[in-house]
Structure 1
């Protein structure tokens, strides 16, 4: 070979090496003259994230970013969420002509179909490139300049529904840029939904979850360690949280410090804020935290000056020195009107009452001064007649800084072993009466102090006298609602019996303390209920179940309520009645019905619930005239709501509860068709380490009872899971599951569903009343979840936390269902007897409810 030829070969080889090296290093980057077509993707340097076109509904195309190596396709950012592309064959994703943003371009006619907002409108880049980083951020920058402060544009400035590590949630005040999360409209529609999670930087900054213009939940302000309303939020070796608030920016962010841990914060399409972590062993997303998670998380649940406490019953309480603004509604467990002062402030001798373990009040109308000490803060609030309370601004290293509140105190909550100190301003007389922390202003002198001590001594005597009087009074009247409508002795015996039994059982079953726990559930007079229901007339009747009738009424000009009058001949006696009162009075969740009172007089047992406008699920689902109200979106919401309520009972409530009678008639629907689980008369409490229990008295309803429960009296969380699976299949199909057995050689609903699933005809199960507007993937996912829940063997069924995860994930990895438990009780002929079995059986002592149309 000649020297020239050798030199040419060498240059060719170097060119090839250079080309491949360039290709290898540019997989995460495109230049201004390059683009990504609909069949191409861009991957980050270490293959963590991927960018490309996707279509969730096989009709509209979007450009998005997702995790590359997670099989459950999870989108973290969508470019054209409100501008989908109908035809992807001629469109590309590229850098805009000015080099400081990105666009989706139709190459056929050179039309820009979508363009990103410009972060730096006046910039004139020379050689811009777009790069997908390993943290999920898509950036446009000058080639060779990798400084984050010099980015021309970045997707992290325009989030969709997901907050990733290193992303900032909040404000860049210099540019007027608000970075907030906004939910997808539905799990298959990434367009802007109704729910958003954003920082309010006014006053003492905090984060709010919004439903359009309505506040749903707030985090509480940042106290130097965490948001005061998120006690679960702790810095650890795996995750660090950051909150910055200054003249230029107000933002929150988090970072994961442990390798191979993947975490994200998401606002889903149903209005729940959720933090997920990826579990490699199970190849699934695990929900680490969510909000709102209970009733006290709902914004201003207990109104102005009221505070919420899930460990109390009722959950709403007035701060000392305040009383309910609307006593009637308050006694009916509606605390939204809040509380009012008993004694008005006089701005001369007012003091402060220390409240410990509090979520600080809504803080947009506050003044913050980090240079003031807590003592200076007290003095400043005392001197300002408009100041209603104060607290430390930072508790990360003792107490530092000052926050003063002005106006009404909203959305307070008490935590056990969490929260922080808050000082509410009260009149001097209320402070002395309650033994709080008295703070005098500068005009007070020693004589004033002596006077206060004297008042305190006199107040103590009066308090003792008042206590003695109230103890005497309680023997003659347990509740202001009770009137002298029967012989006094009879009324006392019935009411005291219930109250004492509840308290004793509470001590024995629920409390580990030596003191019994009072329920404080309002008692109503029977004659008041009879008057409100027009003597329990059919005109007011909402429905009738196995244990009695339910009526709609308004008691003593209060809100509309549902009155459940237990039949004297029903199987539910005092034991079941007490059980329901004890359990549901302590349970607080948006998917559980709320008990607001009861009545026990002679042989009458009555429960008073919040009113559900659409009555029970079965009255709508199985009605030919009403079932069309339940489109697929509503049915899916009902399924997910029941799942969340059941998860709360099994895992998240104060007590681990097995419902034992989950069925369509025990699911109530509110005005917006949101589901609430009801009827806890048959529920049982499990210890935290208890797996299952046995009973000789099997209770429930044919078609919903798990095989091991109906046959052997063995119940557990998995027996509730079975009932939930039946409900899911009923909601999808609009048909009842009438039993466990074959009837006239026809399969019941579980058998029919299983047959269609195995034949690949699962969509044929869907109720025709749903219409054509539904997600095929969502329907099939729900059918699979339902069949997994009704599997014959207990160990094969998932727990409710897995069920909720499968329902909330768009493409979850799920096992294949096995044979459902639908063959129980099949009629059998035998040669050993001249008689034939009638298809029924008696196991221990069985109490069942037959499914009849209403």
Structure 2
């Protein structure tokens, strides 16, 4: 070979090497003639974000953006979320022919599978390029022009389910852009889901969380510092929030001041708005904030003119000058109809009632004037006959600007800390009647809302009435005296003692402070009439505690009446415990107690009615279990987890349930779960880790080893019970009574064996249907096994459980050996009132009493 030929050959070889090296290396930019395909990616300049093809289910392919250096793949944007690619081998991502948009092209079929919307349709760039920036924004721009004002197109204008720092949530009024978040349909399906988070720019702008066309949650309007419905929201040295409202655009955004911080706001497929931060030490996402957290986060929970207060019981209250529109439903703790004025406005001498610490009402139907003072705002609202209330528009530097509301005041809430002042218009006669209270409230911000003052006054009247009732009963029933000695094992009380001991004590806070609780009292005759004298045709079910009946009391809503048997294991202490606890607990995944009856030896609790009864009656039924497809089972698992998290962390008290099981999970008409039966529950101090009991109560198959063996109970014993529940829901099998492979393994052991063999999905109940996400099923099984680990310290807390369940790609530890029972229970004398059962907890034998 000649020297020239050799030189040409060498040069060609170097060109080929250079070509493949360039193709293999990741760049942040695509030129007009470039493209990416297969496993090729774009990587932002400092390796923060990556763009490429991905498949969440091995069937459909998408182009998306994710964090490059976070191990758990977390997607922040999907290009073709509603146009999945079926043939990935011939598809490429490139700049479109017009040069001002991005496309996904099937080169074999020569068709465009997806095209970005064109922000600047009239532009004709000479040398367009597509670039992935370090903030996660994919842009199309003219080569050499890096000004953000001249971007031809950008992904930040078309969010999917995630808001990143620097992104805008809201309207660009000049370009007609509406930037909002929309959930994935499921963790394995990035197509547009049911849930969305949108900014309403009308009136006094605020954001709404939607389930299709239904409002679920409202942020409250921006008041210069934060959204008024997010009192914990504040700019810090690490994160800064921005709200812009002018003629050109209305939007909310946030920025990370700390370069080491990674944060994102997302709408997940299970219906929650969540802010996550990345924790480098644990290599996991931490749930920093979320909504909806409690009952008062539900939109219009207390209806027009009702005020929701999660620290009150019931949570819905009418302020002074208003009364419940539907008293029957209101006193059965359904406040959705709201309140109505006692006296109509006359538009001549009306006044105003100041409410402190408020989430401002829904503000779409308002007028805003940033030039008016608060005093001028008051005068303007007083002169306008249609104005129903007013407030300051900006509280960042005192009170500035004016907002006036017209029409009904909806979705108000009171906060102990945070919130702002709001002024409700009242008639002159109501102002005169409550003048002293109004003046006192106006001069003392620490008093809270007058709604609370009204409740306290009403509670005092209720207590006086109750005392008069007790005295009347003592006179009319001379033989009903208080017994000072009670036989062992019995809970006999006279009616007046029960009323005083149970109902009045239920009005005392656990700190010792007296607080009125408006729990309705029903007479025995009223309940007997409603249940047709407790007839079998009204009976919903029966257990060791007694019977449950379905009825309608005095034309109110349908309720469930729990009549405790005189011989039930749930005696007076448990009854008192349930009344005291559940009357204070308010959460969508906890059953609501709406009344009680205590007469002579009768102890009756009245709950909201659950159409599908208990979880075990559906899950373990051959005829009904098909109702629970995988999506419903997953929603039930997540709902129970949220309810338990509320008990352990978010409620006014730290509650340990101690008897979490399938029969104590009730299902409403939409198969949403609600935790019930708090007779065995215990309150923990905020710093308390565990407690010990001499009497072990609970149910075999759900007890944690340390509780069954040593009587030690804590949050982690509830977590163990939850783990058993998760595995039961996945498998459709009861832990107690399930034995596999010649009686060697119960359900926990069987699940553990399948998991170790890589066959976890075989645990799934065939009745769950054929449509399910394998990753979701395996995630639930792994969470269940983490919760039933033998040692309590190894089990996660419920906040971690909720995070693992709600995250699409969570980082989870590998589970260790579960604490489970081997072998069948020994036979006992059926005539015994208390059966002894022997159970082996990882080879240690213990005899237990009082299990249910």
1:417-566 equivalence runs, <5 A: 417-435=417-435, 473-477=465-469, 494=495, 497-501=498-502, 503-504=504-505, 507=508, 510-511=510-511, 515-566=513-564
Distance in 2 separating the partners of 1:177 and 1:838 = 67
Question: Counterpart of 1:184?
Answer: 184
Q: Are 1:286 and 2:281 matched, yes or no?
A: no
Question: Which residue of structure 2 lines up, in the alignment, with residue 461 of structure 1?
Answer: none
Out of 584-593 and 819-828, give the one that drifted further. Answer: 819-828
Structure 2 counterpart of 1:219: 219
Q: Tell me the CA shift for residue 838 of structure 1.
A: 7.6
Instruction: Report the alpha carbon displacement of residue 501 of structure 1 after superposing the two structures with TM.
Output: 4.4
> Is the counterpart of residue 336 in structure 1 residue 333 in structure 2?
no
Structure 1 residue 50: Cα displacement: 0.7
Structure 1 residue 403, shift from structure 2 partner: 0.3
TM-score, normalisation: structure 1 = 0.90
Give the Å deviation of 1:466. 11
Tell me the equivalent position of 2:264: 264
1:197-250 alpha-carbon deviations (Å, 9 max, x no partner):
001111000000011111100000000000000011011111100001111100
Call closer, same or farther: CA 1:17–1:83 in 2, change over 3 Å: closer
The CA deviation at 1:540 is 1.3
Q: 1:278-427 maps to which residues of 2 (within 5 A)? A: 278-427=278-427
- Measure, in 1, the Cα distance between the counterparts of 2:457 and 2:752: 70
Distance in 2 between the 1:210 and 1:13 partners?
A: 59
Structure 2 SS opposite 1:821:
coil
**1:639 aligns to 2:631 (yes or no):** no
Q: TM-score, normalised by structure 2?
A: 0.90
Partner of 1:818: 816
Q: Which runs of 5+ in 1 are unaligned?
A: 440-463, 829-836, 850-854
8 Å CA contact retained: 2:361, 2:412: yes
> Could you give the per-residue CA deviations for residues 596-626 of structure 1, whole angstroms, max 9, x where no partner exists?
1111111111111111111111011001111
Match of 1:697 in 2: 695
In 2, the alpha carbon distance for the partners of 1:233 and 1:488 equals: 59
Whether the 8 Å CA contact 1:37–1:93 is kept in 2: the answer is yes
Question: CA separation in 2, counterparts of 1:409 and 1:696?
Answer: 53
For residues 624 and 486 of structure 1, the distance between their equivalents in structure 2, rounded to whole angstroms, comes to 54
CA distance in 2, matches of 1:465, 1:13: 91
| Secondary structure, counterpart of 2:220 in structure 1 | coil
* Alpha-carbon distance between aligned partners in 2 of 1:768 and 1:577, rounded to the nearest angstrom: 40
1:241 counterpart SS class: strand
Q: Residue 707 in 1 paired to residue 710 in 2?
A: no
Change (3 A) 1:496 1:326: farther
Q: 1:359 to 1:380 in 2, by over 3 A?
A: same
Could you tell me how far 1:17 is from its partner in structure 2?
14
Q: Deviation at 1:499?
A: 4.7
Q: SS of 1:379's equivalent?
A: helix
The separation in 2 between residues aligned to 1:465 and 1:194, in whole angstroms, is 44
Q: Distance in 1 between matches of 2:517 and 2:126?
A: 72
Give CA deviations for 1:529-554 in whole Å, capped at 9, x if unaligned.
11111111121111123212111111
Q: Structure 1 residues 472 and 114, CA, compared in 2 at 3 Å: closer, same or farther?
A: closer
Residue aligned with 2:849, SS:
strand
Matches within 5 A, 1:165-184: 165-184=165-184
Counterpart for residue 807 of structure 1: 805
| Structure 1 residue 151 corresponds to structure 2 residue 151 | yes
Task: Check the 8 A contact 1:741/1:822 in 2, yes or no.
Answer: no
- Write the distance in 2 (CA, Å) between the matches of 1:725 and 1:17: 55
TM-aligned CA distance change 1:205 to 1:358, over 3 Å: same
Determine if contact 1:788/1:816 at 8 Å carries over to the other structure.
yes
Going from structure 1 to structure 2, the CA distance change for 1:632 and 1:484 (only over 3 Å counts) comes to farther
CA distance in 2, matches of 1:467, 1:117: 59
Distance 2:506 2:386 in 1: 47
Alpha-carbon displacement from aligned partner over 1:628-660 (angstroms, at most 9, x marks no partner): 111111111111111111111111111111100
Q: Could you give the per-residue CA deviations for residues 374-401 of structure 1, whole angstroms, max 9, x where no partner exists?
A: 0000000000010000000000000000
CA distance 1:496–1:385, shift in 2 (3 Å): farther
Confirm or deny: 8 A CA contact 2:473 2:496 kept in the other structure: no
Q: Whole-Å Cα distance in 1 between the matches of residues 674 and 198 of structure 2?
A: 29
Q: Does 1:673 align with 2:671?
A: yes
Question: Which residue number in structure 1 is paired with residue 655 of structure 2?
Answer: 657
Question: Whole-Å Cα distance in 2 between the matches of residues 491 and 396 of structure 1?
Answer: 62
Aligned to 1:847: 850
Deviates more, 1:769-778 or 1:84-93: 769-778
Q: Distance in 2 between matches of 1:686 and 1:253?
A: 39
Contact kept in structure 1, 2:49 and 2:66, CA below 8 Å: yes
Alpha-carbon shift at residue 498 of structure 1 (Å): 3.6
Partner of 2:829: none
Unaligned runs of at least 5 residues, structure 2: 440-455, 483-493, 827-835
Match of 2:684 in 1: 686
Q: How many Å apart are 1:428 and its aligned residue?
A: 1.3
- Say if 1:742 and 1:823, in contact at 8 Å, map to a contact too: no
| Helix, strand or coil at the partner of 1:721 | helix
Q: Is the 8 A contact 1:428 1:438 kept in 2?
A: no
Q: SS state of the match for residue 700, structure 1?
A: coil
- The CA distance in 1 between the partners of 2:361 and 2:496, in whole Å, is 38
Flag the 1:287–1:491 CA change in 2: closer, same or farther, 3 A: farther
Which shifted more, 817-826 or 42-51?
A: 817-826
Assess if the C-alpha contact under 8 Å between 1:353 and 1:436 holds in 2. no
Deviation at 1:110, TM superposition (A): 1.1
* Contact 2:353 2:423 survives alignment (8 Å): yes
CA apart distance, 1:683: 0.5
Q: 1:483·1:525 contact (CA, 8 Å) conserved in 2?
A: no
Hey, what's the Cα distance between the residues in 2 that align with 1:225 and 1:467? Answer: 36
Asked if structure 2 preserves the Cα contact closer than 8 Å seen for 1:120 and 1:152, the reply is yes
Alpha-carbon distance in structure 2 between the residues aligned to 1:736 and 1:778: 21
